């Protein structure tokens, strides 16, 4: 949905010269850039555009009555933002959220920041009070440009109606190009009501930005740089690919897989990179980091050449940069953002460019120069790590272990379902125990760690892929944040499956309190709360709403739940003492990883120690 500049050979837009309101222009540009779904909540300052969407849909319905741009109404604007994000993450296209001024706009701050942190392309259209009263504290006025300026990739305030349609097109260009991100457009009501001639073409003159994007496209790997890279690879005996969300965002997963297979290099991914490499493949080590698999973390400890691809050495992975990959003699880094190179850890070789193309060019260079590799002993070591330090849990417990539930769901989905999550223990268990055969099947709030993300993101993903099975794996605390979106699921009869792993509290925070605060559960224990999630789901129209509290019933209930044709809700009462392992404590290196009672460890670490004063959650 990236707009293209009109050339002399391009025929004029069929509606060029037609007189339209600003609101009608907004809708027409959305149509032109390929928008198929809008998520949003109405209000006074955005009413002209909502009315224009209604009229456009009414005039352009299919023979079966289907609207060309359905407008999906959530329970609140935060939900709308996360739906747009879920849509974008699942599809790779720009998600669209449309809200009113004041509280409507401020309610989207969290999804905007969440999208910025995870490099997700969305466009947020905000209504604003008329230009003449901006700055007077008018009814439902908020300084959107000031608020959003620090959390979005870019913010526009449209005060000149002649620049309206060019601004909308440019917003989509900025959101989708370079390092993707959210763009916010603040549109006063009088600009929406203005009447002028529709141009059907035109972009804003953001020359410096386009020069940077063009430089990325032009920045191909030189023969000298390619030779240098392969010199390091041939000197290596234990290379490892560390892939991040940038691989998914760049649609470079297939190129990464070819690269790994061509040179037989094992791959570990970040939380955001899950799905970039098929987790069922022998070369996959799955996730690394704070709650990564032991095999992945031990491989990072052992590797002598680390190849970072679309990853940024964040604190969940490299909490102690100097001790991250301590035996790596060389580090190479591929990224789209030059600011990430050397930001956390110095590297010996880097490339800033178009990842999919650059990986393929390296393969081609190696083929031309007959580059061969033999990492047999290293691959044997990797297989040994995966076997010896395999993920595990208390399989003999009479209580329902969350890992068991997820393994059972995974047995049905076979790595092909879209999995969304909230944030907390259930998020980490899902990352550890689900398979993902393809990218864009794993949707989670990574950098921001936003509770309440899972359910609205699942809604956005289902609209992006109506044919796919979409499952929200949530926690009792996380789903409370946007519980109202259960009604959105049934309103639009979306066949989303919602799982709540209920441990009666903020599980991840409780885990930290047990480890670092002598078990003082300050404000995290919800065992006395009265929420009946099944009744809540039934009240919101779920025909299938079941509570699972017996271990022996798990296989049967999971099968019925997955096979149910419509929206389905399942609450699972899990072991309240279950913890997420492995765990690399804050400020700790991988050789201090705690594996718990059921996963072997090659180091005897039992006491996590006190977190340092600057440690992050």
Catalytic positions are: 77, 139-140, 189, 508
Other Cβ atoms less than 10 A from the Cβ of 65: the count is 6
Beta strands, E only, 147-273: 154-157, 183-188, 195-197, 239-243, 267-269
Alpha helices (runs of H) in 303-350, residue ranges in sequence order: none
Lookup result for tokens 């120069």? 369
For the chain, helix (H) and strand (E) counts, in that order, are 23, 20
Residue 491, SS3 per DSSP: helix
Counting Cβ atoms within 10 Å, is residue 559 exposed (0-12), middle (13-18) or buried (19+)? middle
User: How many C-beta atoms surround the C-beta of residue 364 within 10 A?
Assistant: 11
Tokens of 577: 């003492």
- How far is residue 448's CA from residue 460's CA, in Å, rounded to a whole number? 19
Among 265, 277, 452, 254, smallest CA distance to 359 is for 254
- Enumerate long-range contacts of 336-340, CB under 8 Å, 24 or more apart: 336/178, 336/179, 336/216, 336/246, 336/249, 336/250, 336/310, 337/178, 337/179, 340/312
Specify whether the CB–CB gap between 416 and 276 falls below 8 A. Answer: no
Number of neighbouring beta carbons within 10 Å of residue 614: 7
- What is the distance between the alpha carbons of residues 425 and 382, in angstroms, rounded to a whole number? 27
């Amino acid at each position: 949905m990236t707009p293209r500049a009109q050339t002399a050979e391009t025929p004029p837009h069929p509606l060029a010269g037609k007189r339209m309101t600003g609101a009608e222009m907004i809708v027409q540009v959305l149509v032109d850039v390929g928008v198929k779904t809008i998520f949003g909540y109405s209000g006074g300052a955005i009413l002209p555009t909502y009315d224009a969407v209604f009229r456009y849909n009414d005039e352009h319905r299919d023979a079966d009555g289907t609207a060309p741009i359905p407008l999906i109404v959530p329970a609140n604007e935060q939900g709308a933002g996360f739906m747009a994000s879920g849509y974008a993450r699942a599809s790779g296209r720009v998600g669209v959220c449309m809200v009113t001024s004041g509280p409507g706009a401020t309610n989207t701050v969290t999804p905007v920041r969440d999208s910025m942190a995870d490099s997700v392309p969305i466009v947020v259209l905000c209504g604003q009070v008329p230009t003449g009263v901006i700055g007077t504290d008018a009814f439902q006025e908020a300084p959107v440009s000031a608020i959003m300026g620090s959390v979005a990739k870019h913010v526009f305030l449209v005060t000149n109606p002649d620049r309206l349609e060019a601004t909308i097109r440019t917003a989509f260009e900025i959101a989708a190009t370079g390092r993707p991100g959210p763009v916010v457009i603040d549109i006063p009501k009088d600009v929406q009501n203005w009447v002028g001639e529709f141009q059907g073409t035109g972009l804003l003159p953001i020359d410096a930005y386009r020069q940077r994007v063009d430089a990325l496209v032009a920045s191909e790997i030189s023969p000298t740089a390619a030779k240098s890279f392969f010199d390091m690879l041939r000197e290596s005996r234990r290379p490892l690919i560390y892939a991040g969300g940038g691989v998914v965002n760049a649609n470079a997963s297939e190129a990464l897989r070819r690269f790994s297979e061509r040179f037989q290099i094992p791959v570990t991914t970040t939380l955001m990179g899950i799905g970039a490499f098929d987790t069922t493949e022998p070369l996959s080590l799955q996730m690394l980091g704070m709650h990564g698999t032991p095999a992945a973390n031990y491989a990072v400890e052992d590797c002598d050449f680390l190849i970072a691809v679309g990853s940024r050495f964040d604190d969940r992975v490299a909490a102690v940069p100097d001790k991250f990959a301590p035996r790596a003699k060389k580090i190479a880094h591929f990224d789209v953002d030059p600011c990430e190179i050397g930001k956390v850890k110095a590297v010996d070789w880097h490339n800033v460019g178009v990842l999919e193309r650059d990986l393929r060019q390296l393969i081609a260079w190696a083929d031309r120069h007959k580059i061969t590799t033999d990492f047999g002993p290293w691959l044997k070591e990797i297989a040994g790590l995966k076997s010896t330090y395999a993920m595990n849990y208390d399989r003999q417990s009479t209580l329902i272990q969350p890992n068991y539930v997820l393994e059972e769901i995974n047995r049905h989905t076979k790595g092909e379902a879209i999995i969304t999550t909230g944030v907390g223990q259930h998020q980490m268990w899902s990352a550890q125990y689900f398979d993902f055969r393809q990218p864009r099947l794993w949707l989670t709030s990574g950098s921001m760690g936003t509770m309440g993300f899972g359910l609205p993101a699942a809604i956005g993903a289902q609209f992006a892929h109506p044919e796919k099975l979409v499952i929200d794996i949530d926690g009792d605390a996380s789903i409370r944040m946007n519980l109202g979106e259960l009604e959105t699921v049934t309103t639009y009869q979306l066949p989303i499956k919602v799982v709540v792993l209920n441990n009666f509290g903020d599980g991840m925070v409780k885990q930290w309190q047990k480890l670092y605060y002598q078990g003082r559960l300050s404000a995290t224990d919800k065992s006395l709360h009265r929420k009946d999630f099944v009744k809540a789901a039934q009240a919101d129209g779920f025909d299938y709403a079941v509570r699972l509290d017996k271990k022996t019933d798990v296989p049967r209930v999971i099968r019925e739940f997955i096979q149910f044709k419509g929206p389905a809700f399942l609450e699972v009462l899990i072991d309240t003492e279950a913890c997420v392992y492995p765990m690399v404590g804050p400020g700790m290196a991988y050789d201090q990883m705690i594996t718990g009672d059921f996963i072997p460890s090659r180091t005897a670490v039992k006491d996590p120690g006190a977190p340092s004063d600057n440690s992050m959650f």
